[in-house]
Amino acid sequence: MSAFLDGLLTALQPGNLAALLAGSLLGVFAGAMPGLSSTVGLALVLPVTFALDPTPALLMMVSIYMAAEYGGSITAIAIGVPGSSPALATTFDGYAMTRRGEAGRALGISLFSSMSGGLLGTILLVVALGPLSRAAIAFGPAEYFGLGVFGLSIVANLVGKDPFKGIVSALLGLLFFIVGLDVLTGAPRLTFGTNALMDGLGLVPMLIGFFAIAEALAAVTGRRRSTPPGSGIAGALPKARELFGLWRTILRGSAIGGLIGAIPGAGATIASIVAWNEERRVSKTPERFGTGLPAGIAAPEAANNSCVGAAMIPLLALGIPGSASAAVLLGGLTVQGVAPGPLLMTERSELVYALYAGFVVAVLLMLAVGRLGIPLWTRVVRLRSSILMPLVVAISLVGTFSLRGNAADAWAALFFGLVGFAMLRGGYPLAPAVLGLILGPMIETNYRRALSLSSGSHSVFLESPISLVLLVLAAVSFAAPAVRSRLISGRTRALDTGPDTHEGPGTHEGSDTHDHEPRREEHE
């Protein structure tokens, strides 16, 4: 404990505190800008950290990482475009709540859940560093395959009223992931002989295309009014009672984020979608998820912030970066002469404790920076869509380009914009395709790796207890919606007609309920 207090004193020194604050501001910005992410924010400050001492350098980086995970939810909630991929699941209920005129409430719930998740993830990091790092390396090809299949089974809850269209969407996502170099053979697949497709179609261009460009196209062609009207948006924050009432959801979300975040390569995007889905599964009213439920925001936001602390577990204990952001962090540490690994805790304990304390301070600064920003964001939401949407598209395209300095990514975003627009018009939900693109590579490469190691025997997936449990969970999760709807088909139909009237005002949507159908169908 006294080591932690020493760490806290270190983190609160003026120079270190300034580094933490700078990191929080930059992190919220990088997270909220569609196209930018915590990884890009970290890469941007990497040269700056060269000039700093190890402690402030490290603190600035963790604070960016932490704040960016909340930042992503700002755009997800305000305009329905995930600011970074871990905020994807937050768009489901967050944007629905904004459309109902409660942007302030949604942002408040996200901020509180992000803070709680961030703190719980830090506690997990401090108390479970050793055991969780050992558990993380137990994940081999068979286990990753199980996790990927389990993640994909969530599609069953995202397909909406027409399972056929949902499955087509998921298959499209799986088709898109194939594009690029095959990791296991190095052979190009579906690149049509062009070098630009060699690195595959990225998740960020897809998110930008689907959620910014396709929506803007729909708005322009008058098919959908995808941004809320100027009036009726309240900046009112949620009541403390409501926030604390979410404690069970936040605990569950943080636990899921903590466990998945500690597994190298799984990541916050998968964790937050799984958290949203689990929350829906345990809910008494699963069919209302996606219509703007507080729990639908709290679960993924607690999960993606809890992932930050958890991602540090393999990094600190084993020197293994668990995420793209952690990889940049590792690069920064290397330059500072700090070598994470089994000996870090004994040799550099003062730095590790300063890092722990820095996490706590970073979370609190994120809360302050985030709270100050809410009035601004609720004003942005009030902009007319004819002004807001072109702005969003322009910013998104610039963000997509700056991600890798590659114009091909902006073209890919435009391509996905057209695909997404066509899918929206046809009533195909978009989320399953995103899930396919994220999980496809994990499932395919690990399936082939596992078989290569087992000389072609499939029993390897059943012999591993972790993989077996995950595959059984996947089967249950996949079958559950169908079984449930057969059991209570009458009740579901009754609820379908008026979820909004039950949940909140939502009257401004009354006139164009039909136009909003496709988007909402994703989650019902």
Partner 1 sequence: MIGFAAPGLAALALAGCSPSGGEAAFPSRAIEIVSWATPGGPTDLLSRALAEAAPPHFDGRRVTVMTRQGGAGAAGMQYLQGREGDPHVLGVFTASGTVNMATGRIPFSPGDFTPILRIQIDPFLVAVRDDSPFHTLGDLFEAAHARPGEVSVSGFGAASAHFLGFARLRAAAGDPDVRWIAYEGSADAVVAALGGHTDAAHTNYNIVREHLRAGTMRVLGVALPVEALPDTPSYAEQGYDLTPVHWRGVVGPPGLDPALRAELRARLMAAIEDPGFREYMERAALEYATMADADAFGVWMAEEVATSRDMLRRLGILDE
> Could you list the residues that contact partner 1 (CB under 8 A)?
39, 42-43, 46-48, 50-51, 137-141, 181-188, 195-196, 198-199, 264-265, 314, 318-321, 327-332, 334-337, 339-344, 404-406, 408-409, 445, 449, 452-453, 455
Instruction: Tell me how far, at minimum, the Cβ of 203 lies from partner 1, in Å.
Output: 15
Tokens 């902009």, residue located: 383
Q: How far apart are CA 351 and CA 296, in angstroms?
A: 37
For partner 1, which is the closer residue by CB, 221 or 334? 334
Around 401, how many Cα atoms within 13 Å sit in the side-chain half-sphere?
A: 10
Shortest spacing between CB 279 and partner 1, in angstroms = 30
Q: Which is nearer to partner 1, 283 or 454 (CB)?
A: 454
Strands 180-181 and 188-189: antiparallel
Query: Helix (H, G, I), strand (E, B), or coil: what is residue 188?
Result: strand
For residue 429, the minimal CB distance to partner 1 (Å) is 29
- Supply the minimum distance, in Å, between the C-beta of residue 344 and partner 1: 7
R_g (Cα) of the chain, nearest Å: 22
d(CA 80, CA 58) in angstroms, rounded, equals: 32
The first and second tokens of residue 236, run together, are 């009112």
Closest CA to 483 of 263, 179, 156: 156
For partner 1, give the closer residue by CB, 144 or 359. 144
Question: CA-to-CA distance for 148 and 86, rounded, in angstroms?
Answer: 16
Q: How far apart are CA 295 and CA 243, in angstroms?
A: 10
Is residue 181 helix, strand or coil? strand
For the CB of residue 26, give the shortest distance to partner 1 in the complex, in Å.
15
For partner 1, the closer CB: 195 or 497: 195
- CA 144 vs CA 141, 257, 462, 513: distances in Å: 5, 16, 13, 41
- 304: Cβ contacts below 8 Å, ≥ 6 apart: 69, 72, 86, 87, 114, 117, 257, 268, 269, 271, 272
Q: Which is nearer to partner 1, 366 or 408 (CB)?
A: 408
Under DSSP, is residue 180 helix (H, G, I), strand (E, B) or coil? strand
CB closer to partner 1, 50 vs 247:
50
Q: Region of 81 please: left (phi>0), alpha (psi -120 to 50) or beta.
A: beta
Would you say 193 or 222 has its CB closer to partner 1? 193
Smallest distance from partner 1 to CB 139, Å: 7
Q: Could you give the CA distance from residue 464 to residue 283 in angstroms, rounded to a whole number? A: 30
**Among 112, 149, 46, CA closest to 371:** 112
Of 11 and 328, the one with the shorter C-beta distance to partner 1 is: 328
- Nearer to partner 1 by Cβ, of 334 and 513: the residue is 334
CB 3 within 8 A of CB 351: no
Which one, 141 or 286, has the nearer CB to partner 1? 141
Residue 448, token pair as written in the block: 């082939």
> What is the enclosing helix (H) or strand (E) of 236?
none
180 pairs with which residues across the strands? 189
| Contact between 85 and 355 (Cβ < 8 Å) | no
In the complex, least distance from residue 304 CB atom to partner 1, rounded to whole angstroms: 20
Least distance between partner 1 and beta carbon 223 (Å): 33
* Phi, psi angle pair for 44, to nearest 5°: -65, -40
Tokens of 479: 């079958």
Nearer to partner 1, 136 or 307 (CB): 136
Instruction: Tell me the closest approach of the beta carbon of residue 96 to partner 1, in angstroms.
Output: 35
Separation between Cα atoms, residue 381 and residue 22, nearest integer Å: 26
Give the shortest CB-181-to-partner 1 separation in angstroms: 7
Find the shortest distance in angstroms from Cβ 401 to partner 1.
Answer: 11
Residue with tokens 């290569």: 452
